[in-house]
Copies of this chain bind each other. A is one copy, B any other.
Amino acid sequence: MEEREELTEERILEMLDNRQFKELKEELENNMYPVDLAEILEEFEQKQLVMVFRLLAKEEAAETFTYMNSDMREILINALTDSELEEVMEEMYLDDTVDVLEEMPANVVDRLLMATDEEKRAQINQLLQYPEDSAGSVMNVDYIALSQEMTVEDAIMKIRQVGLNRETIYTCYVTEKRRLIGVVDIKDLLTTGESRTIDEIMDTNMLYAQTTDDQEEVARMITKYGLIALPIVDHEHCMVGIVTVDDAMLVLQEEETEDISIMAGVAPNEESYFGTTVYEHVKSRLPWLLFLMLSATVTQMIMNSYEAALAVMPQLAGFIPMLTGTGGNCGSQSSTLVIRGLAIGEIEFRDLFKVIWKEVRIAVCISIILAVVNGTRILIMGQGDAMMAFTIGVTMACTVIIAKVVGCTLPLVAKKVGLDPAIMATPLISTLVDISTISVYFAIVSFVFRL
């Protein structure tokens, strides 16, 4: 991965110290991407941060601002003059502005809104009303709208005029009384006769989503159909904005991270790993740990009821971690694959029995192999006689089958009842499997060895 030789943190600090502002300003303009600059500035002190920010050209300043974390943004908002702030706000895309505002304390929001003109403020207030994680909350209200009677020439003319400050002009949207009736790709505009009219070349069989649709579904749709942007309509089918592919990619990355955190028993949060304080980390990890630790009491109570058995055959205890561990792993394999299948839309609740049937067959094969291997191992290592080897083998087999069925079923059920399937991952599954494994284990041994 090569980029042009970069302007490093050290280099910037050095130029600041030597007060080489003019050179730095140039370097920043020609040799730095806003997203990278935002990363670098994270390490800077307030004073330096503000100094560098003031050196940036309007557009760069606005874009860099959108990539900053909320602390940095607040520093700047407090340091900048109203007119400076106004400039930044003017340059920012509406959807970014809204993201910024959503994280800011009320007083700051007021100050920011003051810095924006009437029309924009109205649009912002509109956008702020869409539910979090909805298509409306990530959409961009800047797009090119054409009318069907326009000629290709008119259309290109219009793009020339308004295109400059549109985040994307690659697809144009044909509307009639604000209702979406078709789409035209810029490619088609450039490669057909200028005298043809839009309604001749527009594609009326277009994909679109509602403002209230889930942002992840919208992003998956953009991936599936390989779109550059997806038009968003309100409930009257009026076009209100577009979700662009770059925003879709960020949405997916966020959602994946969220899923993966939940699957590990961590309450998801928007901030990065290092951006999250120790206290917040504790807060997001503790609940599941407490819940799972306490539910393990059940396992313990079961085992205590077999104290007598353990007193007679203490070696029985030695097999427990292996049995519960294997059960947990089998369960998490199944639950994880199903959770992922649900996330990317391959598996749905109606596939429940198809999934169970598949997992059962898998479980049977695996259980036989593991049971035999483990039984043999016990005999070879002399950890028990044939009877013991057989008993453990049978327990192992039951454990695997139960674990796989539980593991594949729970995520689907969760989805059905409107929970996030990801909570049915390893931590919960392994605790449930522990309980079933130990019950089965002691039921079998106490029967076999008449304990």
* Contact flags A303-327 to B (C-beta < 8 A → 1, else 0): 1100110110011011111101110
* Contact (Cβ within 8 A) A2 B210: yes
How many copies of this chain sit in the oligomeric assembly? 2
Contact indicator B190/A160 (Cβ below 8 Å): yes
**A335 vs B337: C-alpha distance when bound (angstroms):** 19
A426 with B289, Cβ < 8 A, contacts A1-B217, A300-B321 known: no
Question: Is A106 part of the binding interface, using a Cβ–Cβ cutoff of 8 Å?
Answer: no
Interface residue tally on A, bucketed by range: 35 or more
Please name all residues of chain B whose beta carbon is closer than 8 Å to the beta carbon of A272 when the two chains form the complex. 341, 346
Pick the interface stretch among A13-21, A47-55, A125-133, A273-281. Answer: A273-281
Whether B257 pairs with A344 at a CB distance below 8 angstroms is yes
B337 pairs with A266, CB closer than 8 A: yes
Those of A61-87 within 8 Å (CB) of chain B = none
Contact A225 B35 (CB under 8 A): yes
Pairwise interchain contact A336-B292, C-beta atoms closer than 8 A: no
From B213, B218, B279, B289, contact of A370 by CB (8 A): B289
Given contacts A205-B31, A248-B249, A321-B299, whether A282 and B365 have CB atoms under 8 Å apart is yes
Checking B299, B336, B377 against A322 with a beta-carbon cut-off of 8 angstroms, the contacting residue is B299
Alpha-carbon gap, A416 to B191, bound state (A): 50
B205 touches A261 (CB 8 A): no
Interface string of A261-274 (1 = CB under 8 A from B): 10111100000111
User: With the chains together, A207 CA to B273 CA distance in Å?
Assistant: 27
A156 within 8 A of B: yes
Contact surface of A with B, Cβ cutoff 8 Å: 1-4, 30-31, 33, 35, 156, 159-160, 163-164, 166, 169-170, 186-187, 190-191, 205-210, 213, 217-218, 221-228, 245-246, 248-250, 252-253, 256-257, 260-261, 263-266, 272-274, 278-279, 281-282, 285-286, 288-290, 292-294, 296-297, 299-301, 303-304, 307-308, 310-311, 314-315, 317-322, 324-326, 328-330, 332-333, 335-338, 340-341, 344, 346-347, 351, 354-355, 358, 361-362, 365-366, 369-370, 373-374, 377, 381, 383, 426-427, 430-431, 434, 438
